[in-house]
Amino acid sequence: MPHEPIDPVGIEWSRVSEKYLKVRVISALIGHVVFVLILSVPLVMRLLGVWIWPAEWIAWALPIVGLIWTIIDVLFIIPRQVRAIGYAERQEDLLIRSGIMFRKLMVVPYGRMQYVDVEAGPVDRAFGLCKVKMHTASPSANPEIPGIPEAEGARLREQLSARGEAKLAGL
């Protein structure tokens, strides 16, 4: 069901690669493992007899809550977040949408773009993906499109740069 301010009628959205879900899950699992290990410190110290606090049920509850949060994040939240990301190239601007609960639509006029970056971390490169970042005159705006296949990222970089130069030349 489209909502006009966030989801304009007649726009054909391009979605990020399905591989981006794997990238996000791997990145999240790395962070969650560290988080659960930190939450397990009181339990390990209590089982070794080094600490007598906190109460035993609290020592067990901390890593269990961390594991439950990991499962919820990986199975439900991240897939929805990835499906919500989209972009659309229009004649005068680029639209980027994201978010599930707090939905966001960013309109980036081509004439405001100063330069375009393409980045790829090690996990992104393993799946043949990259992130396209646009730098505008506004330091508070941070438009970026993650999870783009490398060939599409290169095409977007060239296309956005050319459109930005054309719009700047007209000023």
pLDDT per position as a tens digit, 99-156: 988 899 999 998 888 889 999 999 999 999 999 999 887 878 789 999 999 999 999 9
Task: Please tell me whether residue 150 adopts helix, strand or coil conformation.
Answer: helix
CA–CA dist 93, 161 (Å, integer): 12
CA–CA dist 132, 44 (Å, integer): 43
| Residue-range domain boundaries for the chain | 15-82, 86-169
81-98 pLDDT, tens digit each: 999 999 999 989 999 999
Which CATH number fits the domain 86-169, given the four candidates 2.60.120, 2.30.29, 1.10.287, 2.40.170? 2.30.29
Please check the confidence at residue 45 and state whether its pLDDT lies above 70.
Answer: yes
User: How sure is the predictor about 43, in pLDDT bands with cuts at 50, 70 and 90?
Assistant: very high
CA–CA dist 12, 34 (Å, integer): 40
Which residue has 């999870």 as its token pair?
A: 147
Residue 43: count of CB within 10 angstroms of its CB: 19
Residue 128: count of CB within 10 angstroms of its CB: 13
101-122 b/e with 16+ CB inside 10 Å = b? eeeebbebebbbbeebeeebee
User: How sure is the predictor about 54, in pLDDT bands with cuts at 50, 70 and 90?
Assistant: confident
User: How sure is the predictor about 30, in pLDDT bands with cuts at 50, 70 and 90?
Assistant: very high
The residues facing 130 across adjacent strands are 148
